[in-house]
Structure 1
């Protein structure tokens, strides 16, 4: 089934499923009640579920990189300890470093793959697992989003902030830190830009909620903000954020990708837009190379 053949009502239901406590059973039950032309809404709903194995682009055995899981302290976080997926590029370093922040379901295979993609481009990357203090990503997104919802939001953010500090000061770091994130992770990048000030050297949030606008003046990092065209839940904050960044003379560029939906960079589901995701990725890599080298 192609993404074009999936009814927009099913896409909207899937977005609700991803961002609420809706169970998979309820998702399928509600989908079965949707009337669509030219097919079954239930079949369309099943097609939207992620296929992580098929979506992998860089293998963990790729000879160009060295991935491993690392543990580090996280004072003030959910448990005082954190775990993340650290991927080293070839060579001795030091390297520019990039924090890769997951969506609202923990460190799933898609985010690990993104971290490996950055390492192939010459960055030392770390993808923290916000669920590590309560057992880690459980192997499926349904349980992952329930687990993440159970965490204290401020402590979870502290774990991400401490992950950024750990990476910036890593022995293989050149001291230049970039951060990118998707959905929940995009919102975290926006908040890190405020909290870290000059200690964040570049930020690239993907379809992330804007931070509190009264704090935009504290941002010092250059930002590249990526939005989907059809994403009303997130885009309601876009215009106000743009105006606040302009009013405070911040260094930023903002892109909205034509014909895309929320999650268009995630190549594990039909929401993926290959053409626009490629453009966004190339822009992201170039942006980081300019500001972190």
Structure 2
């Protein structure tokens, strides 16, 4: 399996066809793909979390542009109210790995909501062609994504089982960057955990790419309204270690002493993704324990 080493997916020379064809899971009238074939390793043994003791289903709610935004929700059985975690996907959208993350959080006592940010254009999850996936991802601009986060917060506020005063956010790859952006924009968020989201434009980025990626997390360090924990890999081919250091320096300079990035020296990009060849069990478990500790302190 080709190893994805970049925060927004494969570079042109890494694009590879799917190694297997997977089916589609349908819940509540909304279809979400199983594990994303563009990144799935045949040798992987993904963690699987059952729904025993949980309520897991799909919902939809209106975004600011009028689009009915689908989302996967997993929460403990019972009336609650439960603290909530918004889960932001990688470039592959709401596939089985992201749904399992939601169920893991629900088993820990949270209501987890994973919006499908990309499906206005198409669902990238069942696709194997990375160029097609990146075209879909590129269509989800900053204002649309922030609007979708706002809609998710509004919807959470209407749920009797949700503690709308205790909301966190976590995201992976593309979603890691969204965590930084959202925590700088929304006072309603109480904590964020960003898994290897890009912090600054690549050194060889074009002016168009630099503009398209704004606002970059490194420019938002002083605007964070909640603590953010970054979990990054020292061997990430798309997020150089010097940008991680620069982000930590920017956080310190802004007086954001409750935010920081942990760098796992030997970990590649995607080290938490247990369905990929990039998975590193020890780093993934340590990062997950840190996530739970932050959310325990800030959301419960």
Q: What TM-score do you get using the length of structure 2 for normalisation?
A: 0.77
Q: CA deviation at 1:247?
A: 1.2
CA distance in 2 between partners of 1:284 and 1:103 (Å): 17
Shift of 1:141: 5.1
The secondary structure found in structure 2 opposite 1:167 is helix
Aligned to 1:35: none
* Counterpart position of 2:221: 216
Task: Report the equivalent of 2:205.
Answer: none
In structure 1, the gaps of 5 or more residues are: 1-5, 29-45
Paired residue total: 260
Query: Would the aligned equivalents of 1:17 and 1:27 in 2 still touch at CA under 8 Å?
Result: no
CA shift in 2, pair 1:249/1:225, >3 Å = same
Q: Answer yes or no: is 1:67 the counterpart of 2:74.
A: no
- Kindly indicate whether residue 260 of structure 2 is the aligned counterpart of residue 271 of structure 1: no
1:241 aligns with 2:247: yes
In structure 2, the CA distance between the partners of 1:84 and 1:50, relative to structure 1 (3 Å rule), is farther
Of 118, 134, 145 in structure 2, the residue corresponding to residue 131 of structure 1 is 118
Q: SS at the partner of 1:203?
A: strand
Taking structure 1 as reference, are residues 114 and 141 closer, same or farther at Cα in structure 2, changes over 3 Å only? farther
1:162 aligns with: 151
Once the two structures are TM-superposed, the CA of residue 107 in structure 1 deviates from its matched residue by 1.1
Q: TM-score, normalised by structure 1?
A: 0.79
Q: Is the 8 A contact 1:105 1:146 kept in 2?
A: no
Q: How far does the alpha carbon of each residue in 1:234-283 deviate from its partner, in whole angstroms, 9 at most, with x for none?
A: 23431221111111211113211232100000000121001111111111
Distance 1:190 1:51, change over 3 A: farther
Q: Deviations 1:185-242 (Å, cap 9, x if unpaired)?
A: 000000001111x311000000112335443222120121111110142234312211
| Cα distance between partner residues in 1 of 2:84 and 2:161 | 9
**Higher RCO structure (Cα 8 Å, ≥6 apart):** 2
Aligned residue in 2 for 1:33: none
Match of 2:230 among 208, 225, 234: 225
Are the structure 2 counterparts of residues 209 and 241 from structure 1 closer, same or farther at C-alpha, using a change threshold of 3 Å? same
| Aligned residues: CA RMSD | 2.8
Q: Which residue of 2 aligns with 1:182?
A: 172
**Equivalent residue of 1:71, what SS?**
strand
Contact 2:85-2:168 within 8 A present in 1 as well: yes
Counterparts of 1:158 and 1:202 in 2: how far apart (Å)? 19
**Segment drifting more, 262-271 vs 224-233:** 224-233
| Bigger Rg, structure 1 or 2 | 1
Q: Decide which structure has greater helix share.
A: 1
Q: Indicate the residue corresponding to 2:136 in structure 1.
A: 147
Check conservation: 2:127, 2:133, Cα contact below 8 A.
Answer: yes
For 2:103, what is the secondary structure of its paired residue? Answer: helix
User: Hey, what's the Cα distance between the residues in 1 that align with 2:7 and 2:261?
Assistant: 27
